[in-house]
Amino acid sequence: MGKVVMYGTVSVDGFIADENDQVGPLFDWMSSGDVPLGETGEAKVSQASYDYTRPYWDQIGVTIVGRHVFDLTDGWGGKPPGGIDHVVVVSHRPMPKGWNPEAPFHFVDGVKAAMAKAQELAGDRTVEVAAGDVGGQVLAAGLVDEVAMDVAPVVFGSGKRYFGPVDAQHLLEDPDVVIQGNRVLHLRYRVRR
Protein backbone atom coordinates (compact mmCIF):
# COMPACT_ATOMS: atom_id res chain seq x y z
CA MET A 1 0.00 0.00 0.00
CA GLY A 2 1.29 3.47 -0.89
CA LYS A 3 1.67 6.35 1.51
CA VAL A 4 -1.01 8.95 2.18
CA VAL A 5 0.03 12.58 1.72
CA MET A 6 -2.09 15.59 2.65
CA TYR A 7 -1.15 18.29 0.16
CA GLY A 8 -1.95 21.86 -0.78
CA THR A 9 -0.58 25.29 -1.54
CA VAL A 10 -1.01 27.47 1.53
CA SER A 11 -0.52 31.06 2.66
CA VAL A 12 2.04 31.79 5.36
CA ASP A 13 -0.84 32.15 7.83
CA GLY A 14 -2.38 28.78 6.98
CA PHE A 15 -5.12 29.39 4.39
CA ILE A 16 -5.74 27.62 1.07
CA ALA A 17 -8.23 30.22 -0.15
CA ASP A 18 -9.96 33.34 1.08
CA GLU A 19 -13.54 33.41 2.44
CA ASN A 20 -14.87 33.52 -1.15
CA ASP A 21 -12.83 30.50 -2.31
CA GLN A 22 -10.46 32.77 -4.22
CA VAL A 23 -6.80 31.70 -4.21
CA GLY A 24 -5.36 35.10 -5.09
CA PRO A 25 -1.56 34.94 -5.43
CA LEU A 26 -1.20 31.45 -3.88
CA PHE A 27 -0.32 29.87 -7.20
CA ASP A 28 1.95 32.63 -8.55
CA TRP A 29 4.81 30.16 -8.09
CA MET A 30 3.32 28.08 -10.92
CA SER A 31 4.00 30.92 -13.37
CA SER A 32 7.22 32.29 -11.89
CA GLY A 33 9.77 30.22 -13.74
CA ASP A 34 10.73 29.00 -17.18
CA VAL A 35 10.52 25.21 -16.73
CA PRO A 36 7.23 23.67 -17.97
CA LEU A 37 5.71 21.55 -15.20
CA GLY A 38 3.44 19.56 -17.50
CA GLU A 39 2.92 18.70 -21.13
CA THR A 40 0.65 21.68 -21.81
CA GLY A 41 3.32 24.17 -20.75
CA GLU A 42 0.68 26.27 -18.96
CA ALA A 43 2.48 26.02 -15.62
CA LYS A 44 6.09 27.17 -15.65
CA VAL A 45 8.08 26.95 -12.45
CA SER A 46 11.65 27.31 -11.25
CA GLN A 47 14.01 24.39 -11.75
CA ALA A 48 13.98 23.73 -7.97
CA SER A 49 10.17 23.56 -7.94
CA TYR A 50 10.14 21.29 -10.99
CA ASP A 51 12.72 18.93 -9.47
CA TYR A 52 10.51 18.57 -6.37
CA THR A 53 6.98 18.75 -7.82
CA ARG A 54 7.20 16.64 -10.98
CA PRO A 55 8.48 13.46 -9.26
CA TYR A 56 5.87 13.92 -6.51
CA TRP A 57 3.05 14.28 -9.05
CA ASP A 58 4.31 11.22 -10.91
CA GLN A 59 3.94 9.10 -7.74
CA ILE A 60 0.26 9.99 -7.20
CA GLY A 61 -2.24 7.29 -8.13
CA VAL A 62 -5.36 8.82 -6.59
CA THR A 63 -6.40 12.18 -5.19
CA ILE A 64 -9.14 12.51 -2.58
CA VAL A 65 -11.13 15.77 -2.66
CA GLY A 66 -14.32 17.05 -1.10
CA ARG A 67 -17.48 17.73 -3.06
CA HIS A 68 -16.94 21.47 -2.63
CA VAL A 69 -13.63 21.33 -4.54
CA PHE A 70 -15.20 19.06 -7.15
CA ASP A 71 -18.03 21.57 -7.68
CA LEU A 72 -15.67 24.59 -7.74
CA THR A 73 -13.54 23.01 -10.46
CA ASP A 74 -16.54 21.56 -12.32
CA GLY A 75 -14.85 18.19 -11.86
CA TRP A 76 -11.95 19.32 -14.04
CA GLY A 77 -14.16 18.53 -17.02
CA GLY A 78 -14.06 14.82 -16.16
CA LYS A 79 -10.27 14.60 -16.50
CA PRO A 80 -8.25 14.30 -13.27
CA PRO A 81 -5.71 17.12 -12.86
CA GLY A 82 -1.97 16.67 -13.24
CA GLY A 83 -2.23 13.33 -15.04
CA ILE A 84 -3.56 11.54 -11.94
CA ASP A 85 -5.37 8.28 -12.69
CA HIS A 86 -8.39 8.62 -10.37
CA VAL A 87 -10.17 11.13 -8.14
CA VAL A 88 -12.22 10.02 -5.14
CA VAL A 89 -14.83 12.59 -4.18
CA VAL A 90 -16.11 12.62 -0.59
CA SER A 91 -19.77 13.53 -0.93
CA HIS A 92 -23.11 12.84 0.70
CA ARG A 93 -24.68 13.48 -2.72
CA PRO A 94 -24.51 11.24 -5.79
CA MET A 95 -22.57 12.19 -8.90
CA PRO A 96 -24.10 15.17 -10.71
CA LYS A 97 -26.82 14.58 -13.29
CA GLY A 98 -25.30 14.21 -16.72
CA TRP A 99 -21.88 13.31 -15.32
CA ASN A 100 -20.00 10.82 -17.48
CA PRO A 101 -20.06 7.56 -15.48
CA GLU A 102 -16.95 6.42 -17.39
CA ALA A 103 -14.86 9.32 -16.04
CA PRO A 104 -12.31 8.11 -13.43
CA PHE A 105 -14.13 9.83 -10.56
CA HIS A 106 -15.58 7.86 -7.66
CA PHE A 107 -18.19 9.34 -5.31
CA VAL A 108 -18.19 7.95 -1.76
CA ASP A 109 -19.78 8.92 1.53
CA GLY A 110 -17.25 9.64 4.31
CA VAL A 111 -13.47 9.86 4.61
CA LYS A 112 -12.89 6.26 5.73
CA ALA A 113 -14.78 4.90 2.73
CA ALA A 114 -12.90 7.36 0.53
CA MET A 115 -9.56 6.16 1.87
CA ALA A 116 -10.48 2.50 1.36
CA LYS A 117 -11.51 3.18 -2.25
CA ALA A 118 -8.43 5.34 -2.90
CA GLN A 119 -6.01 2.74 -1.54
CA GLU A 120 -7.69 0.03 -3.61
CA LEU A 121 -7.28 2.14 -6.76
CA ALA A 122 -3.76 3.42 -5.98
CA GLY A 123 -2.12 0.11 -5.10
CA ASP A 124 1.51 0.94 -4.27
CA ARG A 125 1.24 4.53 -5.50
CA THR A 126 0.64 7.59 -3.34
CA VAL A 127 -2.83 8.59 -2.20
CA GLU A 128 -2.98 12.38 -2.14
CA VAL A 129 -5.57 14.07 0.06
CA ALA A 130 -6.44 17.66 -0.76
CA ALA A 131 -5.88 20.06 2.12
CA GLY A 132 -8.96 21.70 3.64
CA ASP A 133 -11.97 20.20 5.36
CA VAL A 134 -11.60 16.69 3.94
CA GLY A 135 -7.83 16.68 4.48
CA GLY A 136 -8.34 17.74 8.09
CA GLN A 137 -10.87 14.95 8.61
CA VAL A 138 -8.45 12.37 7.18
CA LEU A 139 -5.66 13.71 9.43
CA ALA A 140 -7.97 13.60 12.48
CA ALA A 141 -8.83 9.98 11.62
CA GLY A 142 -5.12 9.10 11.82
CA LEU A 143 -4.90 8.15 8.13
CA VAL A 144 -2.26 10.65 6.93
CA ASP A 145 1.42 9.62 6.70
CA GLU A 146 2.87 12.94 5.51
CA VAL A 147 1.87 16.59 5.26
CA ALA A 148 3.18 18.43 2.19
CA MET A 149 2.81 22.18 1.86
CA ASP A 150 3.76 24.61 -0.86
CA VAL A 151 3.95 27.80 1.22
CA ALA A 152 3.33 30.98 -0.76
CA PRO A 153 4.58 34.36 0.53
CA VAL A 154 1.17 35.88 1.18
CA VAL A 155 -0.90 36.53 4.32
CA PHE A 156 -4.69 36.19 3.87
CA GLY A 157 -5.77 36.98 7.43
CA SER A 158 -8.82 34.71 7.12
CA GLY A 159 -10.30 32.15 4.79
CA LYS A 160 -10.35 28.39 4.21
CA ARG A 161 -7.90 26.72 6.57
CA TYR A 162 -5.26 24.25 5.32
CA PHE A 163 -6.16 21.78 8.07
CA GLY A 164 -9.89 22.50 7.91
CA PRO A 165 -11.76 22.07 11.19
CA VAL A 166 -9.06 20.10 13.04
CA ASP A 167 -9.50 20.89 16.72
CA ALA A 168 -6.93 18.60 18.32
CA GLN A 169 -3.15 18.63 18.43
CA HIS A 170 -1.26 16.52 15.89
CA LEU A 171 2.52 16.26 16.07
CA LEU A 172 4.68 16.25 12.97
CA GLU A 173 8.33 15.31 12.66
CA ASP A 174 10.90 17.90 11.64
CA PRO A 175 10.57 18.67 7.93
CA ASP A 176 12.42 16.18 5.76
CA VAL A 177 11.96 18.34 2.65
CA VAL A 178 12.67 22.07 2.58
CA ILE A 179 13.10 23.46 -0.94
CA GLN A 180 12.97 27.09 -1.96
CA GLY A 181 11.54 27.86 -5.37
CA ASN A 182 10.43 31.15 -6.92
CA ARG A 183 7.50 32.51 -4.85
CA VAL A 184 7.20 29.23 -2.88
CA LEU A 185 8.73 27.15 -0.13
CA HIS A 186 8.11 23.41 -0.51
CA LEU A 187 7.86 21.62 2.85
CA ARG A 188 7.14 18.03 3.77
CA TYR A 189 6.62 16.57 7.25
CA ARG A 190 6.04 13.00 8.41
CA VAL A 191 3.14 12.64 10.82
CA ARG A 192 4.37 11.49 14.22
CA ARG A 193 2.69 8.25 15.31
pLDDT tens-digit map of 127-145:
999 999 999 999 999 999 9
β-pairing, 60-66 vs 86-90, is: parallel
Spatial separation of the C-alpha atoms in residues 39 and 151, rounded to whole Å: 24
User: Environment class of residue 102 by beta-carbon count within 10 Å: exposed (0-12), middle (13-18) or buried (19+)?
Assistant: exposed
Q: What's the rounded mean pLDDT across residues 159-169? A: 94
Confidence tier at 163 by pLDDT (50, 70, 90): very high
Q: What's the rounded mean pLDDT across residues 151-178? A: 96
pLDDT digits (tens, 9 = 90+) for 80-121: 988 889 999 999 998 899 999 899 999 999 999 999 999 999
pTM over 0.85: yes
In order of start, what are the domains of the chain with their CATH numbers?
A: 4-190 (3.40.430.10)
Q: Is 177 helix (H, G, I), strand (E, B) or coil?
A: strand
